[in-house]
Chain A
């Protein structure tokens, strides 16, 4: 039934277009030829223009953004496996918090915690009566653009209540609009493109919460939080 409706719609469009063409074909004159030549000229000008814009061509595979993200991810995984803080040069510091705290014990409580987020704890003798938290992430990328959307990640709310540090992951949703230019579908058999693979490819970032505490503070965390004590 849908096919029939589609065909009928197409036939109607063809008939209307035919009538329009019929009416216009009898039109002649210099102005029409100026229009035809002008149209061609205008479109020919787009060829140099399109290659001149800064976003003309992107070699995503060789893009420094992508290479840096790959390096950052590899360094992160390797550092976590060795029980140390990943190198900071390719990581985004998303947020940091600092609290005065003088008690011998600290409870970590989380809401909507994601287990993939590592909690790195460092005992820092120079801190005295202070605890510091820093949220780091390696880049999150949409590869085709390449677009680093790490800054769009929702940051948790952190608050200190008596002897408990509460980390609340937010569920707010942020929207981002992107534009994807596709080659025409009749080109695909020649270029080998497959439009089914046009879903954006994502390079996931790695996140960690870096917690610096006084040397003798005892930490009690819920099971979902994977604490890694780092030395350096």
Chain B
């Protein structure tokens, strides 16, 4: 069969990616809402200590962007799952598409969203520090600004973690598309892993594999390799699915 225009694979993926970016701003606005919720919860401090001297009690309130970070990871995982549900997958069929282009454009969207999350998460931590600084003018406090270079490091780490979590979310969602049994099996596996974590469960080992890393270069290699394995694996196991069902 002959066509007037022969769409290249790159062009199709790019068009689908642009379409998804335009049609799904909710992916990003949901991140903003999630982060604002974490920000509001962090305003009261993320912990504290009290120490007593002879006649003085000093109460120290800790502030950090931890909650914002963990909420962002939670968002990334759920966002990965949500992009696999039928409502969003079917949006691809406005274009010439197949299973591969559908996957690749969604992966590009998830990576873009992870980069956005990686940028805004440490910066929201900065805003938290500034708000605390301005709202507590009479309190004595430690240095507000992160050390030089720490911000960039935080940005890279958060981006990789968000990319990993959204990738695992995407795998989870796709497995659930493959067979509904996974909807029950995956949470059961996670709960089971948590239960045996004291004796070195697989979830603990997996978290240590990434979180125990001390070099950003090695973390980047580990995360990039994981993405390079998990995404193709996801595409492979779902290749037998009908394009549209």
Contacts and interface: CB of A to CB of B under 8 A. Distances in A.
Interface residues of A, number: 72
Interface string A62-96: 00000000000000000000000000000000000
Point out which of A4, A42, A53, A179 has the most chain B C-beta atoms below 10 A from its C-beta: A179
B33 A20 contact: yes
B33 A24 contact: yes
B235 interface: no
Nearest to B34: A17
A180 B63 contact: yes
A9 to B, nearest CB: 12
B60 A179 contact: yes
B95 interface: no
Interface in A153-209: 153-154, 170-187, 189-192, 198-200, 202
Contacts of B116: 36, 40
A189 B141 contact: no
Contacts of B150: 183, 187, 191
Interface stretch (A25-33, A98-106, A119-127, A210-218): A25-33
B60 A180 contact: yes
A173 B56 contact: yes
Given A43-B127, A199-B49, A178 B59 contact: yes
Contacts of B144: 50, 53, 55-56, 181
B7 interface: no
A232 B163 CA distance: 72
B184 interface: no
Interface in A1-47: 3-4, 7, 11, 13-14, 17-18, 20-22, 24-29, 32-33, 35-36, 39-40, 42-44, 46-47
A114 B54 contact: yes
Interface string B38-72: 00000000100101111111111111111001000
A53 B216 contact: no
B141 A24 contact: no
Interface stretch (A128-136, A139-147, A223-231): A139-147
B126 A46 contact: yes
Interface residues of B, number: 82
A17 B74 contact: yes
A202 B87 CA distance: 59
Contacts of B59: 175-178
Contacts of B119: 40, 43
B82 interface: yes
Nearest to B157: A186
B200 interface: no
Nearest to A142: B58
Given A177-B139, A187-B157, A28 B25 contact: yes
A153 B75 contact: no
Given A20-B30, A21-B30, A180-B142, 13 more contacts: A17-B78, A24-B29, A29-B25, A32-B25, A40-B116, A55-B144, A178-B58, A178-B59, A179-B63, A181-B63, A183-B64, A186-B161, A187-B150
Interface of B: 22-30, 32-34, 46, 49, 51-66, 69, 74-75, 77-79, 81-82, 85, 87-88, 116, 119-120, 122-127, 129-130, 132-133, 136, 139-147, 150-151, 153-154, 157-158, 161, 187, 190-191, 194-195, 211-216
27 contacts: A7-B190, A7-B191, A21-B30, A24-B29, A25-B24, A29-B25, A35-B32, A36-B29, A43-B127, A49-B130, A53-B130, A55-B144, A145-B141, A154-B55, A171-B55, A178-B61, A178-B139, A179-B141, A181-B63, A181-B143, A181-B144, A182-B66, A184-B122, A185-B66, A190-B153, A199-B51, A200-B60
Nearest 9 Cβ contacts at the A-B interface: A25-B26, A43-B123, A154-B55, A32-B25, A179-B141, A182-B64, A56-B145, A24-B26, A46-B126
